[in-house]
Amino acid sequence: MDQRGKLIIFSAPSGAGKTTIVRHLLEQDLGLEFSVSATTRPPREHEVHGKDYFFMSVDDFKGSVAAGEFVEWEEVYPGRFYGTLRSELERIWAGGHHAIFDIDVIGGLDLKEVYQTRALAVFVSPPSVEALEQRLRSRGTEDEDTLRTRIDKARHEMSYADRFDTVITNDELASACREAVSLVRRFLH
């Protein structure tokens, strides 16, 4: 394994299917480990502290920002902070793995800016904003207001796609997963 671990960044509007693709990649024998982000949003049902996220209070989060503990952080939704802890990246690399990220579009571009050729930045695009809305509704994890915020944000985020190293359009999940595996394999070798 390369002494210097790499970063595999998956960004997308919420609901584009990136989480499923990232999970699929983690099941392959690619030497990847999920970078667990910190967030101030409350846990959803079944989410586990330290596995899905490090759930933090806003005060603690701001303390970590002030202490320079984040490689990147964003107020992804009003009052909802998300960030990548430097300690998490270092832990993954020390274990001889590459870090894989499920992260918002701006955060993804920030990481790419910092790590350049050490990072592969992939944008997962939904076939359309309408398709995205349908997916988010059927997931049923958000109330109407949150849903609207996410859809408006998605529309805006789609405009960042061409700043990524590559775009995967998630028309059909199985083929998007296959495409992701071959992309990542090529990057790591």
- Footprint on this chain of ligand 5GP (rule: CB under 6 A): 14, 37, 41, 72, 74, 76, 82-84, 102-104, 107
Nearest residue (CB) to ligand 5GP, 136 versus 177: 136
Nearest residue (CB) to ligand 5GP, 70 versus 184: 70
CA distance 148 to 142: 10
Least Å from the CB of residue 189 to ligand 5GP? 26
Least Å from the CB of residue 182 to ligand 5GP? 23
Nearest residue (CB) to ligand 5GP, 2 versus 35: 35
Least Å from the CB of residue 119 to ligand 5GP? 14
CB 102 within 8 A of CB 82: no
What is the number of other CB atoms lying within 10 angstroms of the CB of residue 114?
13
Nearest residue (CB) to ligand 5GP, 29 versus 66: 66
Helix axes 129-139, 144-157, angle to 10 degrees: 150
The residue whose two tokens read 């919420």 is 14
Least Å from the CB of residue 104 to ligand 5GP? 4
The DSSP annotation for 10-41 comes to: EE-STTSSHHHHHHHHHHSSS-EEE-PEEE-S
